[in-house]
Amino acid sequence: MTNSKLNHNSRVVQTQSDESGYHEEDITTLDWMEHIRRRPGMYIGKLGDGSSADDGIYVLLKEVLDNSIDEYMMGFGKSIEVSVEDGYVTVRDYGRGVPLGKVLDVSSRMNTGAKYDNKSFKKSVGLNGVGIKAVNALSSFFQITAFREGQCKSIEYCRAQVTVDHPLSPNSEPNGTFVCFKPDEEIFKEYRYRDDFVEPLLKNYTHLNAGLVIHYNGKKFFSKGGLSDLLSDCMTADPLYPIIHLKGADIEIVLTHSNQYGEEFYSFVNGQHTTQGGTHLSAFREALGRVIKEYYGKPFEYADIRAGIVAAISIKVEEPVFESQTKTKLGSKDMAPGGVTIAKFVNDFVKQELDNYLHKNPETSDILFHKIQDAEKERKAIAGVTKLARERAKKANLHNRKLRDCRIHLTDTKGDNRAETSIFITEGDSASGSITKSRDPNLQAVFSLRGKPLNTHGLTKKIVYENEEFNLLQAALNIEDDLDGLRYNRVIIATDADVDGMHIRLLLITFFLQFFPDLVRAGHIYILQTPLFRVRNRQRTWYCYSEEERLQALRQVGKNPEITRFKGLGEISPDEFKHFIGKDIRLDPVTMKKEDAVKEMLEFYMGKNTPNRQEFIINNLVIEEDVA
C-alpha cells in the first residue's frame, strides 16, 4: 500500500460534525491513481504472489495483452512479442500504434480510450478505459512507446507519475505499441510470474484467434484449429468421439465426451476467458441439453447428458457487460448480434448446427447416445444409496463435530472476501485443534478426518455415498450434484510432513481426481505447506520450509541455535500456527494438465501393481538424517 500524499486534485467535502467521531476531515475524494492503489481489488481482483492463476500480476499482463489482441481482431498485426524477466514484463504488438498525440492520455487519464466508439473497436474486451491505467498505477516502472508512420513517442512513469516524457522522434520501427512494466513490490509482495499460468493464458489467446503468433521467452504459440486445438490441449482423458466443431458468425462451439466424472466447460467473450461463466455459458448448457433430448426423443436428465462432457464456447458481442473489472463473468443478457438476447442467440445456433451435425454423423450420435445411457444407468444404480447417504449427511451435519464452519461462504450473495474462503482438511484431532484455534473464523473452515481415507482408485461413485468420511466431506463442500454450490474457494489439504501424512494427501488427491476433477481443473485444490524446522536464538525465530532454508537460517543465527524438527501439525502451537495460515500462507496448487497423464499416473501409484510400485520406491529411496 502506498504512503504517498493526496495531490492537488484531492479535496475535503464539508459536512456537519457530530459526536460520533464522523467529521469533515474523515471524508476525502481520491484522485484516480490513489484510488486504484488504495483499492486494487476493485480493478484487478486479489493481489497474491503469483502462485494462483487469478492473482493480480496476471491480470496486469492480461490488461496490456487485451489491447494488442483487440488490434489483431481488427485486422492489424499478426504477431505479439511477450517477455518476463527479473520481474519486468514487456509486450510489443504490430498493430496501428497509439496515436502519437494521445500516448499520455491513454496511459494516465482515466476513462480515456478509442473503444467508446464501437466503429473503431467493434467487439473488444476493454471498453471503459481503465485497464492500462490500472497497470500504470500499480507498477513501480511503466513505459509505453507508440510507433506510427515513421515516428515514435515514449513516456515513462513511476506509480503513474511521469518521470520521463521523451520528445517525438523519427523511428524506423514497424507500427505498433510497446509496453514495459514492473508490478510494484509495495503492493505485490514477493511476487513471481510462473510459466504454468502465463503459458496457458497465451495459448488461449492463440486458440481464440487462429493465425495469431505469440512469442514468449523463446517459445512460439500458434493455433490453426482454434477452439478444437484448445480442447485437444486441455483434455486430460481421451475423447469418446471426434471433437464436434461448430462455427458461425460471432460464435464458435466445440464439444466431446470422455469417460470421466464431472463437466469441463471453457467459455470466452471477445477473447476474454470468462472463468466464472455467465449468461452465454448458462445458455449453452441449457441449449445443449434441450437439443440432445429433442434429437433422441428421450427424456434424458440434463446431468446424464453433461456427464463427462468437455466443451468450449466463444462469442463476440458489442459492448459486453461483465460483473467486475476483472471480466471473469459475463452479465450481458440482450447484447447479442441482431439485437436478440444472448440466450436466444446461443440457443438458435446450437439448435440448428448441433442437430444438423448429429444427423450427418450417425457414428458420433450413436456413441453419444450410449454414453448418456451409461451415465443414466450409473445414476439410477446409486439413487437409493444417494438418498440415504444425503439424509445421513444432513442429519450428521446438524451435530457435525468434524466440521468447524466459517461465517462467510463462496456462495454468499454478499461479501467482498468470498474469494478468500477456505476449508482445511486435516488428519486427527490435534492438527484440527491447532488450526481451529489459529484460523480466521470468518473465512476459514476446518474438516477433520478420522484415520486414513479409502483408496478410491477404480471404484464407482457409489462408494462416495457409502463411505462416511467422503459422504460427509462432499456434503460439507456442497458438491453432491455439481460445483455451482461449492461453499469454499480453496479446499486445502493439511497433513503432517511425514510418510503417513503424505499417504493421506495422496488418497485425498486420488478421491478428487477420480470423482471431482472439475475442482482440480478450476484451481480449487491446494496443499498446505507448513515449516519443517524452527531455528531460533534469544533475539529471533526462523521458520524453515526446506533443508536449504534451514541451512540459511543457521548461517544467520550464529552460535548455539535451538533447532526443532516439526514432525506433525499437532506439534505446532496455535500461537505459531496462525503465522502459517494467515496472509503469508504457503499453498501449492494441485493442477491437471494433459501431459500429466492422470489416468496412467493414478494406475501406477494407486492401482494394484504393487510389485512395480515397490521396485520404483526402492530405486528412488532417499534417507534423510534426523536433525532434531
pLDDT band at 499 (very low <50, low <70, confident <90, very high): confident
| 3-class secondary structure, 84 | strand
**Model confidence over 502-544: pLDDT tens digits?**
889 999 999 999 889 889 888 899 999 888 899 998 888 898 8
The CATH classification number of 227-379 equals 3.30.230.10
**Model confidence over 257-296: pLDDT tens digits?**
998 888 889 999 887 788 778 889 999 999 999 999 999 9
Report the pLDDT value the prediction gives residue 483, as an integer from 0 to 100: 79
DSSP structure class, residue 239: B
CA distances from 147 to 95, 98, 100, 135 (A): 9, 8, 8, 20
Domain 44-222 belongs to what topology?
Heat Shock Protein 90 (3.30.565)
Every domain range in the chain assigned CATH 3.30.230.10: 227-379
Query: Who has greater pLDDT, 26 or 266?
Result: 266
What's the rounded Cα separation, in Å, for the pair 111 and 128? 6
What's the rounded Cα separation, in Å, for the pair 223 and 253? 16
Every domain range in the chain assigned CATH 3.30.565.10: 44-222
Query: Who has greater pLDDT, 177 or 574?
Result: 177
pLDDT at 627 exceeding the cut of 70:
no
Every domain range in the chain assigned CATH 3.40.50.670: 383-530+567-619
Report the pLDDT value the prediction gives residue 1, as an integer from 0 to 100: 37
pLDDT band at 332 (very low <50, low <70, confident <90, very high): low
Residue whose C-alpha cell is 475442482: 519
Mean pLDDT in the chain? 83
Residues 574-590: what's their mean pLDDT? 86
Prediction pTM value: 0.74
Architecture of domain 383-530+567-619: 3-Layer(aba) Sandwich (3.40)
- 484 membership: H or E segment, kind and range: none
Out of 8-12, 148-152, 378-382, which region has the weakest mean confidence (pLDDT)? 8-12
Report the pLDDT value the prediction gives residue 573, as an integer from 0 to 100: 83
**Model confidence over 194-222: pLDDT tens digits?**
998 999 899 999 998 888 999 999 999 99
Give 308-377 as a DSSP string: TEEEEEEE--SS--BSSTT--SB--SS-SGGG--HHHHHHHHHHHHHHHHHHH-HHHHHHHHHHHHHHHH
What's the rounded Cα separation, in Å, for the pair 481 and 474? 10
Query: Who has greater pLDDT, 155 or 427?
Result: 155
What's the rounded Cα separation, in Å, for the pair 47 and 395? 39
Residue 225's Cβ-count burial label (10 Å; 0-12, 13-18, 19+) is middle
pLDDT > 70: percent of the chain: 84
pLDDT at 165 exceeding the cut of 80:
yes
Report the pLDDT value the prediction gives residue 80, as an integer from 0 to 100: 97
Residues 552-576: what's their mean pLDDT? 85
pLDDT at 17 exceeding the cut of 50:
no
Report the pLDDT value the prediction gives residue 300, as an integer from 0 to 100: 95
pLDDT > 90: percent of the chain: 38
